[in-house]
Amino acid sequence: MSIILEQLLNGLTIGSFYALIALGYSMVYGVMKLINFAHGDLFALGSYLGYTLLVWSAGAVSQRFGLWGGMAAALLFAFFAVGCVGVLMERVAYRPVQKSGRLPLVVSALGVSIFLENLIMAVWGPRYQAYPASVVPTYTISLGWFHITSMQLFILILSFVLMLILYYVVQKTTFGAAIRATALDKEMATMLGIDVGKITLFIFFLGPALGGMAGVMNGMYYRQISFVMGWNYGLKAFTATILGGIGNIPAAMLGGLLLGLVEMFGAAYISSAWKDVFTFLILILILIFRPTGLIGEKVAEKV
Amino acid sequence: MNKRHKRSQLILGMVIALFLAFPFFSNFYWIDVAFFFGVYALLGLSLNIVLGETGLFDLGHAAFYAIGAYITAILNTLYGIPIVWLIPLSALCAGIFAYIVTSPIIHLRGDYLCIVTIGIGEIVRLALINNPFGLTGGPNGITGIGRPSFGLFAIDTSIRFYFYVWIILAIVILGLVRLQRSRIGRAWNYLREDEIAAEMSGIDVRHFKLLSFVLGAALAGVAGNIYASKLMIVSPDTFTFMESSMLFCIVMLGGLGSIPGSILGAGIITVFPEIFRVVANYRMLFFGGALVLAMIFRPGGLWPRKREIAIPNVRSAEEAEEMIRPVAVDQTRTTAKQSLNGETSSFEKHILVTDKLTMKFGGLVAVKDLDLVVGHGKITSIIGPNGAGKTTVFNVVTGIYKPVSGKVYFEGKDITGFKPHKVASLGIARTFQNIRLFPGLTCVENIMAGLHHRMSSYVFSSIMRTESQILEEKWAIETAMYWLDKTGLAGLSDELAKNLPYGKQKLLELARALSSSPKLLILDEPSSGLNDKETEDLMIFLENLLDEMDLSILLIEHDMNLVMGISHWVVAMDMGIKIAEGRPQDIYNNSRVIEAYLGREE
Amino acid sequence: MSELLVLKDVVVSYGAVTALKGVSIKLNEGQIIAVLGANGAGKSTMLKSISKIVPLKEGKIFYKGKEMASLSAHDLAFQGISHVPEGRRVFPTLTVEENLNLGSYGARKRLLDEEVEETKKWIFELFPVLAERKNQLAGTLSGGEQQMLAIGRGLIAKPTLLLLDEPSLGLAPILVKEIFNAIRKIHEESGTSILLVEQNAKKALAESDYAYILETGKISIEGPASELAGDERVKAAYLGGSAVTKKE
């Protein structure tokens, strides 16, 4: 029983990373119909930015405001910095290419991805970096046979809160409705007075920002980060997006959490070596049998 | 030949001379770079078939490359099969693998296909790491692969490998150029430009998509073989998603569907990082930035394909006409099922009959219990307000939609549920309400789409340029030119369809439909967007066609002048139901029809 | 009566196709103007040029006496122009109420929340079925209901000028009647000026003050609606090209 519960916790933790990254994929796909291949690298960038803040300056922040203060600073810093990088990316690499069609846009995204990955390597070096143990709390909370690390609890609560806020904003507010409307029909949204350019900007800030924050959480959780981690997490989160249904925000959250669970239980009960193969098999099967994902509407092509 | 041709031959000669001389003026380091240039050129060309020619988003192409490399490695190290024999075997295995894995996903479009291919690429890589049956050697891969040799002549030095790969490449390029300018290459381009129009012109879209994947994979398999024998080791980390994206970039950098472009792209990808080796850590950084810049300033690629059709020297319209003279009317043709409607029995033959045809979308009934009869050799028009279900009828008849219930008979044969390309090959051709041409192809190529199903050359005959293939191509071009002249588009043969003004685009679409010598021509609002003069010309043209060919016409039209002027029979629809049918004058004065147009009186 | 909207020699082209070839129309405040014409005559393009979805190649558009050149498409809702496009274009995965609320998005800075709520109540009175289904996804509505929603979405911004593009398209006669009754009511109760583009000539003429007939990008006939309703040419032109007119 306790093992299952532990797997569940591990699955949810990694699932919440996937979910936070998947949100960015999904939102960007919604407004631009682009699979933003650079998104995974933004996650990695967030991880490194948080690391730098914690290690270089945060000695100071952590000393003054405690461990949790230092973490909060790192998270917020990554959130805003990566968000700004996202906006810059849209302005420089996507907006000028958008009119040329979707294939050039895909290549541009691959270019940004290669650029970011190598930027990280150039700045922080090709070797693994470790979040020092001194900057993250490491105690474990135990309730009888039930154990949870403080980090796990923190990650779960924070991502849950973030998703809840996002869910509320997107599903319950008029601004959120404007975002969804823009994703569905840009021209109609414009006719209703929605500034599509502003919405796009917002999406390209928020998506990367959430990814960057997930990067910091991931670094704190596993403590080890590398410049190539973007590809792997990106690909997984992207699978999660499809699993839920691309372009649909609650679906991305669901897909992320579900994928985390599938992976954990798959690794535990089937085979850890083949778990990623199962992940991609699921992806392919979903696309064959339910291309709109678990939640999603089918749109017929007009002839 | 002309001057330009001479000049390009001269340049080609110089390039070949440069390649021959290169190794003798260079060092081993750069000769190896040139070798990898060759391997990536092969890979780029292999993906170009899939992504460039056919427009299928394949971001997992490294999987096929891996299959070729591992087949070579396993069979060579385990059974000692010579590397050279393994070239065709690697191609075959990669091709079969591609057939198996892409068959279930080939119907997916755009991004979805892209995602699935990423998945396939990753599954293959992960499987290689996991060392199934102890065959792949796990993360470390397989070592000790042999070298290719021809008898006693072994390919074992850098210079020999250099010539080995570039000679293979030269042969491949020759084959691909021929393939590109054949029925196969055109079919790929058609479905890249507009899948539905391609299918409706008689091209088996599924078949040609699969063919494209299989050939692309086979060629990547060959590249895998060469790579494995040069390095003498294969390991899973060569065949990553990054590798697939690089191949994707090669094709896009060069220009979609451009053979020289793909080679240039491969050159950039392999040579660029070497030139920037001085700034070791930053070279990929520059490369990423350069990709973005290339897409901003040259989204169509650095060396896009220029579309030209080699027009045979002898070309006379009469000669062509002779060749395409329609088959004599088959008098024994089965008489179509008699309609339930007594009024239409005056037609001796019905080319098309629908029996209680019903089509629904979700809960919406678009067409309900429609009995439609199209007389042989006659013009039948369907009229009705927007949303009456007219175009849906066309889409059901031509196989784009499968009806919920009811039957479609063509020449007495039940064709309900046939795929559009099958319907087209039986002799039904159509035009679309919003013109569906192949915008990036020339006018001649557009028209030749209609001839596709009447031609038979395939991969082998196209690459070998067999006599029958050459004859067939000539026939196709001449026939296409005939229809170009006939529809008043003479002189525009090499113009891209997208550059034509609207009216001419409509004519081109009509020419494409007619080139297939259809028995039934279906026109969806042929006059929309034409002015009065053009509409009148169109009427005369259609009426003349009826005299010249064994043709029946079914059309949807809003222009009452056209409908009343040329139709033999008019069917009025509203809300998916036939509300009246009869001779044009009767319909024009029919109260129910006027009502449907002008709104009901209270 | 002051001039609310004036189109002067408007030319619009999509690449090779010229959709509008110098169209001039005028709409006074409080009027309902109908623009009739067959498919492809350029009616929708005309409305899209007014709401700046398609750019003008030549000509000018004046709204409340001022040229709109400096405005963006998304500013027009704030200026009081609501466009109910052809084919309804409701957001299928949003609820009916969300769709309605979005209608006031562009106008949120000129309207008080209470005004929006009041207008919403009025819209629910006009189309009670929308009130019943306000929590349903718009994609699950029938064609007629979607049309009502699209009109409601246009009205909630309390527009000065309502652009209606083929509101009767593809609807059963009984629903067509209902929609036209609603249009009349909207005009009577709110005084909104309406530019109505229609295929259904008889109905449209019955509701409007003045009408234009658009044929292949040009205005061919214009006049007070009551006069045009009796005009033989309208029936002919309406049914198709001008050639039928020649016949008679």
Q: Given CB atoms, is B394 within the 8 Å cutoff of chain A?
A: no
Q: Which residues of B sit within 8 Å Cβ distance of C?
A: 363-364, 385-387, 500-502, 505, 525, 527-529, 531-532, 535-536, 558-565, 575, 597-600, 602
- Average pLDDT estimate for B242-263: 93
User: Is C105 in contact with A178 (Cβ distance < 8 A)?
Assistant: yes
Q: What is the pLDDT, as a whole number, of residue A15?
A: 94
Instruction: Please list the residues that pair with B553 across neighbouring strands.
Output: B379, B521
Length of chain C: 248
State the Cα–Cα distance between residues B351 and B346, nearest whole angstrom: 14
* Sheet strands (E) in B324-419: 350-361, 364-375, 379-383, 405-410, 413-414
Q: Is the pLDDT of residue B341 over 50?
A: no
- Average pLDDT estimate for C231-244: 55
**Which one of C12, C36, C39, C86 makes the best mutation probe of the B interface by having the most chain B beta carbons within 10 Å?**
C39
- Cβ atoms of residues A115 and B289 within 8 Å: yes
Q: What is the dihedral of CA C213, C219, C222, C225, to 10 degrees?
A: 30
Q: Given CB atoms, is B30 within the 8 Å cutoff of chain A?
A: no
User: 3-class DSSP state for residue B374?
Assistant: strand
Closest CA to C153 of C167, C171, C172, C169: C167
Tens of pLDDT, residue by residue over B99-132, are 999 999 999 888 889 989 999 999 999 999 999 8
Roughly how many angstroms between the first and final C-alpha of chain A, as a whole number?
Answer: 55
Q: What is the pLDDT, as a whole number, of residue B204?
A: 96
More confident residue, A141 or C137: C137
How many helices (H) and strands (E) chain C has is answered by 11, 10
State the Cα–Cα distance between residues B307 and B309, nearest whole angstrom: 7
- Cβ atoms of residues A117 and A44 within 8 Å: yes
- Average pLDDT estimate for B129-145: 91
Nearest CA in chain A to C88: A188
Q: What is the mean pLDDT of chain B?
A: 87
Q: What is the pLDDT, as a whole number, of residue C235?
A: 65
What chain C holds in terms of domains, given with CATH numbers, is: 3-247 (3.40.50.300)
Residues 6+ apart with CB under 8 A from A6: A147
Contacts of C166 in chain B (CB under 8 A): 386
The b-or-e profile of A180-209 (16+ CB within 10 A means b, else e) is bbbbbbbebbbbbbbbbeebbbbbbbbbbb
Q: Where residue B323 falls among pLDDT bands split at 50, 70, 90?
A: very low
- Average pLDDT estimate for B544-568: 88
- Average pLDDT estimate for B211-239: 96
The two three-digit tokens of residue C110, written as one number: 């000129």
- Average pLDDT estimate for B377-385: 89
Q: How many CB pairs under 8 A join B and C?
A: 72
CATH, range A2-289: 1.10.3470
Q: What is the pLDDT, as a whole number, of residue B379?
A: 94
Tens of pLDDT, residue by residue over C200-214, are 787 888 899 999 988
State the Cα–Cα distance between residues C26 and C6, nearest whole angstrom: 5
Tens of pLDDT, residue by residue over A227-277, are 889 988 998 898 898 888 887 888 888 999 999 998 888 888 888 788 888
Say which residue the tokens 């066609």 belong to.
B545
- Average pLDDT estimate for C26-39: 89
Which amino acid, residue B84?
Answer: V
State the Cα–Cα distance between residues A222 and B88, nearest whole angstrom: 47
Which amino acid, residue B430?
Answer: R
For chain C, what is the largest distance between any 2 Cα atoms, rounded to a whole number of angstroms?
58
Q: Where residue A303 falls among pLDDT bands split at 50, 70, 90?
A: very low
User: Is B599 in contact with C238 (Cβ distance < 8 A)?
Assistant: no
Q: In the 8-state DSSP scheme, what is residue B50?
A: I
Q: Given CB atoms, is B28 within the 8 Å cutoff of chain A?
A: no
> Which of C74, C85, C98 faces A193 most closely, judged by CB atoms?
C74
- Average pLDDT estimate for B371-395: 89
Q: What is the pLDDT, as a whole number, of residue C133?
A: 93
Contacts of A297 in chain C (CB under 8 A): 92-93, 139
State the Cα–Cα distance between residues B543 and B523, nearest whole angstrom: 14
For β-strands B149-150 and B153-154, DSSP reports them as antiparallel
Q: Is the pLDDT of residue B347 over 90?
A: no
Domain ranges of chain A: 2-289
Give CATH 3.40.50.300 domain extents, chain B.
336-427+518-602
The two three-digit tokens of residue B16, written as one number: 């070949």
Q: What is the pLDDT, as a whole number, of residue B600?
A: 44
The angle, 0 to 180 degrees and rounded to 10, between the axes of the packed helices B259-275 and B283-297 is: 150
What sign has the CA pseudo-torsion B53, B55, B58, B59? Answer: positive
How many CB atoms sit inside 10 A of residue B463's CB? 18
Q: What is the pLDDT, as a whole number, of residue B578?
A: 92
The two three-digit tokens of residue A49, written as one number: 């930015």
Q: Is the pLDDT of residue A139 over 90?
A: no
Roughly how many angstroms between the first and final C-alpha of chain C, as a whole number?
Answer: 39
Tens of pLDDT, residue by residue over C43-87, are 889 999 999 999 999 999 999 999 988 889 999 999 999 999 988
Say which residue the tokens 């007619």 belong to.
B514
Residues 6+ apart with CB under 8 A from C92: A184, A297, C137, C138, C139
Q: What is the pLDDT, as a whole number, of residue B384?
A: 82
Nearest CA in chain B to C174: B600
Share of chain C above pLDDT 90, in %: 58
Separation in Å, CA of A64 to nearest CA in chain B: 37
- Average pLDDT estimate for A185-197: 94
Contacts of B574 in chain C (CB under 8 A): none
Q: Which of A17-21, A52-56, B285-289, B481-485 has the lowest mean pLDDT?
A: A52-56
- Cβ atoms of residues B374 and B323 within 8 Å: no
Separation in Å, CA of A131 to nearest CA in chain B: 24
Nearest CA in chain A to B114: A35
Contacts of B391 in chain A (CB under 8 A): 303
User: 3-class DSSP state for residue B329?
Assistant: coil
State the Cα–Cα distance between residues C117 and C123, nearest whole angstrom: 10
Tens of pLDDT, residue by residue over B269-322, are 998 888 887 776 787 888 899 899 999 999 989 998 887 655 444 344 444 444
How many helices (H) and strands (E) chain B has is answered by 23, 14
State the Cα–Cα distance between residues B352 and B369, nearest whole angstrom: 16
- Average pLDDT estimate for B486-512: 89
Q: What is the pLDDT, as a whole number, of residue A301?
A: 37
Q: In the 8-state DSSP scheme, what is residue B442?
A: B
**Which one of B295, B360, B436 makes the best mutation probe of the A interface by having the most chain A beta carbons within 10 Å?**
B295
- Average pLDDT estimate for A10-24: 94
Q: What is the mean pLDDT of chain C?
A: 87
Tens of pLDDT, residue by residue over A82-136, are 999 999 999 999 999 988 888 899 999 999 999 999 999 999 988 888 888 777 7
User: Is B599 in contact with C16 (Cβ distance < 8 A)?
Assistant: no
Residues 6+ apart with CB under 8 A from B31: B22, B23, B158, B159, B162
- Average pLDDT estimate for B526-530: 78
Q: Is the pLDDT of residue A279 over 50?
A: yes
More confident residue, B318 or C116: C116
Q: Is the pLDDT of residue A291 over 80?
A: no
In degrees rounded to 5, what are phi and psi of residue C81? -110, 120
* Chain-centre distance for alpha carbon B469: 19
What's the CATH class of domain B336-427+518-602?
A: alpha beta
User: Is C169 in contact with B387 (Cβ distance < 8 A)?
Assistant: yes
Q: Is the pLDDT of residue C248 over 60?
A: no
The two three-digit tokens of residue A257, written as one number: 């959490």
Nearest CA in chain B to C234: B598
In degrees rounded to 5, what are phi and psi of residue B127? -65, -40
- Average pLDDT estimate for B405-433: 93
Q: Is the pLDDT of residue A297 over 60?
A: no
Q: What is the pLDDT, as a whole number, of residue A96?
A: 93
Separation in Å, CA of C203 to nearest CA in chain B: 7
Say which residue the tokens 């669970």 belong to.
A261
- Average pLDDT estimate for B478-500: 91
More confident residue, B533 or C242: B533
Helix (H) or strand (E) holding C66: strand C66-67
Q: How many CB pairs under 8 A join A and C?
A: 66
Q: Is the pLDDT of residue B343 over 80?
A: no
Nearest CA in chain B to C37: B558
Which amino acid, residue C167?
Answer: P
State the Cα–Cα distance between residues C221 and C194, nearest whole angstrom: 19
Tens of pLDDT, residue by residue over B454-471, are 999 999 999 999 999 999
What ipTM was estimated for this complex?
0.89
Q: Is the pLDDT of residue B448 over 50?
A: yes
Tens of pLDDT, residue by residue over A67-84, are 788 888 889 999 999 999
- Cβ atoms of residues A75 and B253 within 8 Å: no
| Most confident among A285-294, B192-201, B337-346 (mean pLDDT) | B192-201
For β-strands A146-149 and A140-143, DSSP reports them as antiparallel
Tens of pLDDT, residue by residue over B61-95, are 999 999 999 999 999 999 999 999 999 999 999 99
User: 3-class DSSP state for residue B398?
Assistant: coil
- Cβ atoms of residues A259 and A18 within 8 Å: yes
Q: Is the pLDDT of residue C246 over 50?
A: no
Q: Where residue B46 falls among pLDDT bands split at 50, 70, 90?
A: very high
User: Is B118 in contact with A117 (Cβ distance < 8 A)?
Assistant: no
**Which one of B136, B194, B205, B285 makes the best mutation probe of the A interface by having the most chain A beta carbons within 10 Å?**
B285
> What sections of chain A are H helices per DSSP?
2-32, 39-52, 58-89, 95-98, 102-124, 150-172, 174-184, 186-191, 196-222, 229-244, 249-269, 275-289
Q: Where residue C236 falls among pLDDT bands split at 50, 70, 90?
A: low
Contacts of C239 in chain B (CB under 8 A): 560, 597
Closest CA to B357 of B389, B404, B394: B404
Q: What is the pLDDT, as a whole number, of residue B238?
A: 93
Residues 6+ apart with CB under 8 A from B33: B270, B271, B274
Tens of pLDDT, residue by residue over A35-75, are 899 999 999 999 999 999 888 775 676 677 777 888 888 89
Q: Where residue B326 falls among pLDDT bands split at 50, 70, 90?
A: very low
User: 3-class DSSP state for residue C171?
Assistant: coil
Separation in Å, CA of A120 to nearest CA in chain B: 9
More confident residue, B525 or A82: A82
- Cβ atoms of residues A277 and B130 within 8 Å: yes
